[in-house]
Amino acid sequence: MLARDSSDLRDLMSSTLTSTSVVLEFVASWCGLCAMIAPQMELLAEEFDGDGVRFLKADVEDCAEAAKDFGVEVLPSILIIR
């Protein structure tokens, strides 16, 4: 699920973390490596999303505040949060 902005990402995470782990992927539309791994991340999300794991994606352009809060310095950045 793609977060619209930092506030939306915070809401999604707070409603999700009570019962599942989160795989949070920070990407950007201009990032070539992000585009390269996108199909594999989508396959993982299809297979495991909802099975104790929630996959979230955040564009650093739209979620700059959250990216800063999580210390994102390189893209793509994939965080696993329990």
- Residue 45: partners with Cβ closer than 8 Å, 6 or more residues away: 23, 55
* 40-70 pLDDT, tens digit each: 999 999 999 888 899 999 999 999 999 999 9
- Annotated active-site residue in 12, 24, 34, 72: 34
Question: Which is catalytic among the residues 22, 31, 44, 53?
Answer: 31
Q: Which domains, from first to last, does the chain contain? A: 2-81 (3.40.30.10)
Is 63 assigned a catalytic role?
Answer: no
Q: Tell me, what's the pLDDT at 1? A: 86
Q: Is the pLDDT of residue 18 over 80?
A: no
